[in-house]
Amino acid sequence: MNESKIIRAYGETIFERGLGYFREGRVTNVIKFRGRLIGEVSGTHGYTTEVDLNGLGCDCSCPYAGNCKHGVAVLLQYSDGGYVDCDEIMERVEEMDRDELLKVVEEFVRLNPSSLMYLQVYPASGGEGADEAQIKALDKQIRSMLRRIVDYGYADKGFADDLSGLIRFNEALLTKEQIFYILEFLVNNSEEYGCFYDDYSDDYFGDEIFLNLCDAFVRKRLEASDFGRLEELRGVDNYDMLGPFFYRMAEGENGKVLVEFKEYIREFLNEQTYVDFLINCGLGDEARELIEEGKSLFYENRFRSYLRIDKEAAIEFAHRKGFHSSLIRYYNETGVHDEAVGLFSKVAGEGPPGARLEPSSYFYMIVLDSIKKGGALDKSGTEDALRDLFEVCYSTQCYDVCVDSGMELGDKGLLRRLIGKERTRSFGVESKLELLSYLVDEYPDEVGGELKALAASLIEAMGGYSYEKAADCVFLLRRIVSDAEWREYVKGVYDQHFRKINLWKEFKRRGVVLKRRKGVVEMVG
């Protein structure tokens, strides 16, 4: 995984911050498991970050919530080889016989005695047939924990983790009344303990409690009156504390269990989540009707939901509705690259460039990927598709993909149009430097001026990453000007920015040392 992919996913500013965290050793551990990275990063607080290795996006417990510097730091740690491969560990576990596995469990419990609670097994009915003493002990623990946050007037992330763990580990033992007691207490006293929200860091940390409560609730013997109680509770929930609880009803196996209560559940969910619920319940026809109506559904969600019901009908639906970007993305994912390229070329040729396609670099990188992987186009057809892609991206200012498609074509005249374009989120430092390096010999004057301007802006921006890229600009300039001119230019930059010690450390690392002696700049290297 190279840095440019991470930059494209997160942007330069977030990448630079994450790079700083990585270099400072703030990533305490990273685990790779089933296509995801789970990492712990120390910042203002300790944060847990999960990264999807396919799209590189992340979910994080920090106030930013996703695609943050913590995700960048975790990805860089993974790229550097500093991670534990749990997929490999699970493969070894699967090969163990019963006795070997028991020894592993015994050793795990010996080293981590508190982990024994993970192995507790209770009756699935939650109370019926369970040990009465266990239920009473759990009830006492729940009430004691909840009283604590009201007495203190504050609930922090540690408390939320403790309560969430207590619910998860005792899911089968929890009675329905205990679940309602916890829900009612948390809603009715939310202002007393702060709603699991830290307004200093703008961090909300209580979702896991409600998700685990829902999982426990679903596995009880439910009645219509239970949903009436939830409706009453929602009526006094002024801070949407119960939102995660309701949305959890639609997920995975929960939907199948709750199918007989679908009319009650519909009142708690938005349209998209209710569609997901119906699909999980196996009620594809009902879900299809809502997707076709699509009163408040985003087109990508409509198509993806339809795919879960009937792939052929979903593709016909997307063609009928003009969901071209969704189709192209789907064709790319499923390896039908020629269909993706054909549809892109057709749409690009029917109207203003980019008018009927998703205007994002991420999407156009998918198109480029299919152009490169498709096998049906001859050389001329491939060139036409690449030129179409360049023009569409140019019109939508997705200049980073313009660079990639233009270089794939090898058309330096076409790429020359990008030299003076300003940096944006869709035209970062990496792409701009790649462009200038590619054109440096053909258009030295234009490239030279742009390198100086880019270096100046990066130096003003400051930071380790900016200084590194500024040095890249300056040393690339060395290829197209005389040695004397280059030295005078670098001395001038030093004279203006000599206090920026870390910038000149980067130059020293590359063999160039500058100093001021009695007002005169001296240069070695």
Quote the pLDDT of residue 355: 63
Q: What is the DSSP string of 430-443?
A: HHHHHHHHHHTTTS
Q: Mind listing the pLDDT tens digit for each residue in 86-126? A: 999 888 888 888 888 888 888 877 776 655 554 554 444 44
Report the pLDDT value the prediction gives residue 493, as an integer from 0 to 100.
Answer: 96
**What is the number of alpha carbons within 13 Å of residue 301 lying toward its C-beta?**
17
Share above pLDDT 90 across residues of the chain, in percent, rounded to a whole number: 67
**What does the radius of gyration of the chain's CA atoms come to, in whole angstroms?**
29
CA 485/CA 488 separation, integer angstroms: 5
The pLDDT assigned to 125 comes to: 43
Q: pLDDT digit string (tens) for 391-408?
A: 999 999 999 999 999 999
Give the pLDDT score at 200.
Answer: 73
Say what the pLDDT of residue 376 is.
76
Positions in the chain short of pLDDT 50: 118, 121-128
Bridge partner list, 260: none
pLDDT digits (tens, 9 = 90+) for 126-141: 444 557 888 898 999 9
How far apart are the two ends of the chain, measured CA to CA in Å? 33
Using CA atoms in the order 471, 474, 477, 479, what is the torsion angle rounded to 10 degrees?
A: -60
Residue 396: count of CB within 10 angstroms of its CB? 21
Give pLDDT, residue 226.
97
What is the reported pLDDT for 114?
57
Question: In this structure, what token pair is assigned to residue 289?
Answer: 């009707």
- Distance (Å, rounded) from C-alpha 361 to C-alpha 499? 37
Nearest to 281 by CA among 297, 269, 294, 293: 269
Distance CA 53, CA 225 (A): 43
Dist. CA 338–CA 332, nearest whole Å: 9
Q: What is the structure's pLDDT at 233? A: 97
Tokens of 106: 């015994």
Q: State both tokens at 111.
A: 């080293």
